[in-house]
Chain A
Amino acid sequence: MDFFDRFAVPHPSFLIYASMVGIGLTMVAIVLGITYFKKWGYLWREWITTVDHKRIGIMYLLVALLMLFRGGVDAIMMRYQLSMPDNKFLESQHYNEVFTTHGVVMILFMAMPFITFFFNYLIPLQIGARDVAFPRLNALSFWLFFMGMGLFNISFIVGGSPDAGWTSYFPLANNEFSPSVGTNYYMIAIQIAGMGTLISGINFITTILKMRAPGMKLMKMPMFTWSAFIANVIVVFAFPVLTVLLAMGTMDRLFGTNFFTTGDGGMDMLWANLFWVWGHPEVYILILPAFGLYSEIISTFARRNLYGYKSMVASMVVISVFSFLVWTHHFFTMGQGAFTNSIFSITTMAIAIPTGVKIFNWLFTLWKGKIVFTTPMLYSMLFIPLFTLGGVTGVMLAMSAADYQYHNTMFLVAHFHNVIIPGVVYAMIAGLTFYWPKMFGFMLNERIGKWTAWIMSVGFVLAFIPMYITGLDGQARRMYTYSESTGFSMLNMVAFIGAGIMAISFALLVYNIYYSIRYASRDIGSDPWDARSLEWATHTPVPEYNFAITPQVASTQGFWDAKKNGHELFKGKYEKIHMPNNSGWPFILGCIFFVFGFAMVFSIWPLAIVTLIGILVCLVYRSFEKDHGRYISVEEIEETEAKLRGVKNEDR
């Protein structure tokens, strides 16, 4: 009986049962729909087995949008619960599960796949390559990430969600205080997804170092590629720490080791330290590619080259180094003394310097430009002041003596949302709007897009500025309720209204996609924004091989040179193109990992052993598999190119 009890949700509520039914019905509907339209074969051939970086990118995008929805629902539930004192909407345990999943989902399963989508879709196009360095590994990255995401998301209907916070500090996260399987899900699902991220980090570094178009020296790479390069270097340095950390946590929970226990020589603070040794660089893994996207967008719509290219690159390198030197600022209050706190206080504030350089460079890029207010540009212009606000509150938090008062309060919550939402989320939506025509051949509606940006910003200000104030008034974070006498209720109600307005803006974004699918013009050519870098030099839709002839570049903005200065990008004639074959193995390996993870979560050892053997068999099989890829013949290229040009000519 005990065994089956573990699969039940430990704290069931109407909401959880309703979502169970909802999820069940949706799954059935999807399966029936695919069967009815006879799309299984298409799905398998074109998507599940694909190794094409563009398609893998789009799958990352779908996951990110789905998770944005899920994390957003969590956020609304939390804000509603806190909008009134002594609200009975959620009980304490349920609230704890909601904020834990909100944090994990938004950082690891929304923001990470969103930037990985841009890495996948853009890096090969920006550097003039045909795919990433290891296409099959890229598919494996996605499926590992996807299965980790899936495993994490079933937790709330099978066995219960993790409830120890997204940071899962020990000893709270250990069996004694978190007896449900929820935290096992946290340890194992993030581990599986994290492996995918680490593998893709190696993949993108190799791609950028080895596969750039002729003439594209490192200092001639577009700024997004630079930011992606640095972010992936951070991934490769930081994620192994997470891997080890989660393995230690798993062993503490499942095998009774004592890494983080409070007795027997364990050290609970070690978890906090290692977590943030990974966790702080993780923040920069998210924000640097966002900076890269803003650089592309601002330069494009200021109709100018990016100001201070070299100092932009230098500042990102400095940020990446400093990102590993500040982790202690997440727990200035642990009692490590004035000297240690002073060191980390200074290193943390020092990060403001290179970040400030970037803000100034964007402002100088606008200077003497010819600024066009498109939707992506509007997001970027809202980003600058809002992100600056988040950045300077970061400097305030870095003053460690004062941090004793900010720590663990809503002030901190306001700060990191203030950097992540205008910093990362705005960049993702701006980038999505910017690259949408490249991916799908039509633009998103500008009018709806601009409304979305403004409404989102109004909602953002209303939702998060009040938290700075209640934080200074003593509202701790992660409290599921508070009493009337605290006086927090009014500002929390404002925050709930703000969150509601943000939800409206996201609904508007979805509506915009629907509206544009129906009504947008398909006659937009391959360069609708008058952009500057290589990804716009190829056709829309982008053919499987990206570029029929490998482009040759001479500056950071190869396509602009070709348009304005008569630079010839595509020299030479068509040659046959070597492409990788599709493969189902990454998906199968991912599925086995999913079952393995599930078996580990519930300690079903026979199944865990069998699946582990299955994983090893897959790896061995791959080592002996002979697959030399295939060639696209010159005739086929000519045919495709003619067709792509033909489509455009007809439209015109």
Chain B
Amino acid sequence: MKIKVKWALLTMIFTIATVLTGCEPLLVLDPKGPQAKTQADDIMLSILLMSGIVIAVLAILVYVLVKYRASNQKDDYEPPHIEGSPLVEAICIGIPIVIVIFLSFVSVKSNYEVEATPAGYEDTKPLIVYASSSNWKWHFSYPEEGIETVNYLYIPAGRAIEFKLYSYGPITSFWIPQLGGQKYAMADMVTTLHLAADNPGEFVGRNANFSGAGFAENTFDVTAMSQTDFDEWVDEVHETAEPLTEEKFEELLEPGHLGRSTYTGTHLEFAPAPEHNHGSTDSEMDHSEHENHDSNHSEEESDHSHH
């Protein structure tokens, strides 16, 4: 009976392995930019190292289980009393320490890499994009180009991109797996994520942090293109798109899902990102923030009336 179960287990593992190899490469392990490459390298390195540990533990376990099982021993065998040995235990502590020290070096090095301008693009002038989320959309503002898009992102390939992330509502997480790992967007501060795409291409992006009923569909499309194409697109937007008014933006913020849309101008002009210091007082805020503040108040009041 046990043998049958073991075979079933083995068959299943092989099935999973076959399924795996038959598929497209996994997004995270198919990086299209330097940050994602750093992360994929770390992941592969740790998978290899960790597989070694799992196999070693499994081998020792199987060995002792076979060698010392009662049915393989004499009936009168009395196991000895062994308290422990400082040397053996020191080795058992030493090996993990060495592995952890090694991984710590890798981890710290990668931390500084992913938090800086992507390797290889340090001498490009980074494109700054403000990516803000609202339930359940993404708004991309290009302050230097003076345009704004909803739910889609065009970026030049071969150039550093600096995303400034914040949220109109719950904490969300901005994630384009093939370009690099995610970062939170929050309502009362701006976080920065450095990414770059090596070549033109299309990628999926999404909010990875649960944010309520419309979370599953909170996605966006990313297209990386040459700098020339990007410039052409910007010009085209200026010629064709409508300007983003405050009323229009308020409308966009309403909870729900929307398709793609494009505007000239950005909402940053009338609703700046929360880049001020956390403890700032009202007097430091400009007029438009006052209005925002007031509208928040009235919203809160209406909440209170629910009680």
Contact = CB atoms under 8 A, between A and B. Distances in A.
Interface of A: 2, 92-93, 96, 163-165, 169, 171-172, 175-179, 254, 256, 262-263, 265-269, 272, 302-305, 307-311, 331, 333-335, 337-338, 341-342, 345-346, 349-350, 352-353, 356-357, 359-361, 363-364, 366-373, 381, 384-385, 388-389, 392-393, 395-396, 398-405, 407-409, 450-451, 454-455, 457-458, 461-462, 465-466, 469, 472-474, 476-482, 487, 490-491, 494, 603
17 contacts: A172-B211, A303-B70, A331-B184, A335-B192, A338-B108, A338-B114, A353-B96, A356-B92, A361-B89, A388-B53, A392-B50, A399-B106, A401-B39, A408-B209, A461-B12, A474-B204, A478-B210
A308 B84 contact: yes
Given A311-B89, A334-B186, A363-B64, 5 more contacts: A96-B210, A177-B170, A363-B60, A368-B82, A479-B216
A364 B26 contact: no
Nearest to A178: B212
Interface string B204-237: 1011111111111000000000000000000000
Nearest to B103: A349
A308 to B, nearest CB: 4
Contacts of A402: 39, 42-43, 46, 107, 110, 181
A357 B89 contact: yes
A96 B212 contact: yes
Name the residue among B107, B108, B110, B135 with the largest chain A CB count within 10 angstroms: B107
Contact of A310 (B84, B112, B300): B84
B73 A401 contact: no
B182 interface: yes
Contacts of A169: 170-171, 210
Contacts of B114: 338, 401, 404
From DSSP, what is the main secondary structure of chain A's interface residues? helix
B173 interface: yes
B82 A333 contact: no
A1 B23 CA distance: 55
Interface of B: 1-2, 5, 8-9, 12-13, 16, 19-20, 23-24, 26-29, 36, 38-40, 42-43, 46-47, 50, 53-54, 57-58, 60-61, 64-65, 68-70, 73, 77-84, 88-89, 92-93, 95-97, 99-100, 103-104, 106-108, 110-115, 135, 165, 169-171, 173, 175, 177, 180-184, 186-189, 191-192, 204, 206-216, 278-279, 293, 296, 299-300, 303-304, 306-307
Contacts of A392: 50, 53-54
**A-B interface, 9 closest residue pairs, ranked by CB to CB distance from nearest:** A404-B181, A335-B191, A401-B110, A262-B187, A392-B50, A172-B170, A308-B84, A408-B208, A360-B92
A372 B170 contact: no
B244 to A, nearest CB: 23
B23 A171 contact: no
Contacts of B170: 169, 171-172, 177
A638 to B, nearest CB: 37
A353 B53 CA distance: 13
B131 to A, nearest CB: 13
Given A338-B112, A474-B204, A333 B183 contact: yes
Nearest to B93: A357
A454 B208 contact: no
Contacts of A403: 181
A350 to B, nearest CB: 6
Given A309-B83, A389-B54, A393-B50, A476 B206 contact: yes
Given A353-B97, A404-B183, A487-B24, A254 B307 contact: yes
A424 B198 CA distance: 45
Contact of B107 (A307, A345, A357, A490): A345
B11 to A, nearest CB: 10
A450 B189 CA distance: 54
Contact of B89 (A93, A308, A451): A308
Nearest to A465: B16
Nearest to B293: A263
B210 A165 contact: yes
Nearest to B170: A172
A481 to B, nearest CB: 5
Nearest to B109: A401
A603 B111 CA distance: 47
B26 A473 contact: yes
A491 B108 contact: no
Contact of B38 (A267, A401, A490): A401
Contacts of B111: 338, 341-342, 345, 400-401
Contacts of A342: 107-108, 111-112
Given A177-B169, A370-B70, A474 B28 contact: yes
B182 A267 contact: no
Contact of B2 (A302, A454, A482): A454
A370 to B, nearest CB: 5
Name the residue among B61, B73, B113, B304 with the largest chain A CB count within 10 angstroms: B61
Given A92-B214, A335-B192, A349 B58 contact: no
B82 A366 contact: no
A172 B210 contact: yes
B68 A369 contact: yes
A230 B6 CA distance: 37
B181 A401 contact: yes
Given A392-B53, A401-B42, A402-B46, A462 B12 contact: yes
Given A333-B173, A368-B79, A474-B28, A349 B212 contact: no
A354 to B, nearest CB: 8
Given A172-B171, A309-B83, A473-B26, A350 B100 contact: yes
A154 B9 CA distance: 40
Contacts of A92: 213-216
Contacts of A479: 215-216
B53 A458 contact: no
A399 B100 contact: no
A333 B181 contact: yes
A357 B30 CA distance: 36
Given A171-B170, A474-B27, A366 B216 contact: no
